[in-house]
């Protein structure tokens, strides 16, 4: 007797369902296996690097790293000088050698000179549309040309008088209150940039423009390395409400954006009001406003300058110059404190060449080769922006037989390049002798220190101005001051530790030192210079 219909249907449908589930599971497993094999094959075609996890990529390794530049340099020992990483679906290429950076960022600059989309910095904090972050195109070329024209080696002479004036004031401030030397160095850096850019004279670091600018830049650089934040990897998070949990990043961005807006707008509007009243001093902002109003010069027609261009060009001069230059000056001071034999040799050179009847001036540069070596070593040893500003590859490329996907973010590890043991023996030692002498100044090692300024079309356009600026103050500090370790109440020297903070721009933690006029003659020279120039 046949089974009842219900039993028949139940048995056969159960078997059919079971077979369907099994077949579906098999198909799904095959798809997953095929996808995994394709993923492994694709990964194998990329440059070597630490093994990634499926989906997450190398996110687990990156979140554990405090100093990325050092970790990437360690990876070079295991995987070579070019390393590939992935974070979720984002590709990252680390260049740990000068040769690889030159190959890609300079020789192939046409496809390696774009910028990645840095959501936190550009969209949320308001740093978009400045030269540092602009994609290639007419606006990028316009901004770059305007800045290059004003900071080329030939253009520097017109700033020399102002740089002397600010350096002399810094020397006077240091001599009068040496315990506040770090504040005086900051005032010097801000004073030069604000004076040249807006015609604004800075008397102290309590100046409102300095206070706001310092807050804007410090809040920006202390968030982490560019592109390392979760919102940069998952851009939709920029819409995360501030009232939701885990919204500290959004609150920080909102607060910083207000500071950045003030940095761009307040000094610009101040210059406009001074122009209207006829009291504006000649400066870059005034020059650009005159070009905008008259539409004269090389920026006509499609290259017309508008107010937003001027705000962004002048704003980036302050934002980019003050932080990195300040870092370099404090590194110089630390190196002089910790290396008294270097300070003494530099001082002896200046005494021999200049004497003690005048201060050092730009005409003396070629006559001070040892100080040139000191400055080069300060840049190498300090490396203020260890990973530079990221580049972006606009289309797929092939390098050394490996595939580099289009859209890859490129990080040039300047810190690793300037710590290359083959190029710089005992790289952690501060040693200007490695650059002292005609042959060494013409060496590849000397040239590779340029890595601290970036590469190719994205190299810092203000680098000549920045070096001239710190050269004037550093040489005259050596000429007029004695610098050494501070002493405690028992007269014992206080050792200084080397501790950098920050990830995008490195800054030394505050430290104590001993600074003062080396003689009454030095004091008189500084005071006389201030009477003549200030």
Buried residues in 523-534 as b, exposed as e (16+ CB within 10 A): bebbbebeeeee
Q: Under 8 Å CB-to-CB from 164, ≥6 apart: which residues? A: 361, 472, 529, 533
Determine the number of helices (DSSP H) and then strands (DSSP E) in the chain.
20, 10
Reduce the DSSP state of residue 86 to 3 states and report it: strand
Q: Under 8 Å CB-to-CB from 262, ≥6 apart: which residues? A: 212, 216
Q: Under 8 Å CB-to-CB from 369, ≥6 apart: which residues? A: 349, 436, 437, 438, 441
Residue pair 427/449 in contact by the 8 Å Cβ criterion: no
Residue pair 299/142 in contact by the 8 Å Cβ criterion: yes
Which pairing describes strands 90-95 and 82-87: parallel, antiparallel, or unpaired?
A: antiparallel
Look up tokens 């003396």; give the residue.
Answer: 364
Phi (first) and psi of residue 299, to 5 degrees:
-120, 50
N-to-C CA span, the chain: 117
Residue pair 189/326 in contact by the 8 Å Cβ criterion: yes
Is 460 annotated as a binding-site member? Answer: yes
Secondary structure (DSSP) of 347-402: HHHHHHHH-SSS---GGGGGG-HHHHHHHHHHHHHH-SSTT-SPEE-SS-EEETTE
Reduce the DSSP state of residue 513 to 3 states and report it: coil
Q: Which residues are annotated as a binding site for heme?
A: 460
Q: Which residues are annotated as a binding site?
A: 460
């Amino acid at each position: 007797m046949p089974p009842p219909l219900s039993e028949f249907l139940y048995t056969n449908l159960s078997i059919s369902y079971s077979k369907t589930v099994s077949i579906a599971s098999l198909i799904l497993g095959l798809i997953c296996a095929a996808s995994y094999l394709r993923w492994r094959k694709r990964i194998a075609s990329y440059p070597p690097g630490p093994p990634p996890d499926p989906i997450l990529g190398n996110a687990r390794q990156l979140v554990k790293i405090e100093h990325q530049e050092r970790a990437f340099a360690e990876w070079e020992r295991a995987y070579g000088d070019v390393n590939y990483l992935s974070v979720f679906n984002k590709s990252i290429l680390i260049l740990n050698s000068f040769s690889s950076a030159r190959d890609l960022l300079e020789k192939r600059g046409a496809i390696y000179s774009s910028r990645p989309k840095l959501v936190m910095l550009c969209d949320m904090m308001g740093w978009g549309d400045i030269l540092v972050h602009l994609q290639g195109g007419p606006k990028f070329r316009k901004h770059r040309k305007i800045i290059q024209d004003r900071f080329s080696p030939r253009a520097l002479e017109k700033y020399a008088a102002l740089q002397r004036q600010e350096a002399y004031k810094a020397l006077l401030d240091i001599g009068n209150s040496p315990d506040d030397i770090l504040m005086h160095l900051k005032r010097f850096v801000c004073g030069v940039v604000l004076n040249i850019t807006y015609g604004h004279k800075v008397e102290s670091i309590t100046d409102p423009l300095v206070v706001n600018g310092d807050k804007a830049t410090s809040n920006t650089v202390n968030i982490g390395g560019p592109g390392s934040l979760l919102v940069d990897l998952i851009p939709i998070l920029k819409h995360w409400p501030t009232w939701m949990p885990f919204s500290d990043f959004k609150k920080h961005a909102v607060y910083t954006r207000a500071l950045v807006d003030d940095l761009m707008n307040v000094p610009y509007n101040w210059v406009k009001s001074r122009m209207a009243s006829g009291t504006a001093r000649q400066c870059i902002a005034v020059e650009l406003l005159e070009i905008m109003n008259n539409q004269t010069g090389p920026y006509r027609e499609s290259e017309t300058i508008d107010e937003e261009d001027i705000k962004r060009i002048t704003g980036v001069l302050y934002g980019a110059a003050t932080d990195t230059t300040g870092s370099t000056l404090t590194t110089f001071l630390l190196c002089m404190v910790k290396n008294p034999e270097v300070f003494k040799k530099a001082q002896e050179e200046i005494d021999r060449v200049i004497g003690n009847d005048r201060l050092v001036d730009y005409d003396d540069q070629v006559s001070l080769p040892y100080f040139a070596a000191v400055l080069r070593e300060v840049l190498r040893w300090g490396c203020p922006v260890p990973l530079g500003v990221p580049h972006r590859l606009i289309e797929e490329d092939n390098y050394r037989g490996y595939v580099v996907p289009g859209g890859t973010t490129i990080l040039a590890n300047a810190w690793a390049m300037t710590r290359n043991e083959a190029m710089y023996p005992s790289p952690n030692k501060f040693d200007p002798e490695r650059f002292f002498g005609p042959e060494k100044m013409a060496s590849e090692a000397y040239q590779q220190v340029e890595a601290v300024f970036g590469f190719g079309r994205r190299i810092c356009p203000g680098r000549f101005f920045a070096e001239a600026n710190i050269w004037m103050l550093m040489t005259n500090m050596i000429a007029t001051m004695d610098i050494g370790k501070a002493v405690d109440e028992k007269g014992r020297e206080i050792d200084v530790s080397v501790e950098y903070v920050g990830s995008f721009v490195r800054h030394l933690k505050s430290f104590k030192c001993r600074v003062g006029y080396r003689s009454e003659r030095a004091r008189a020279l500084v005071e006389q210079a201030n009477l003549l120039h200030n």
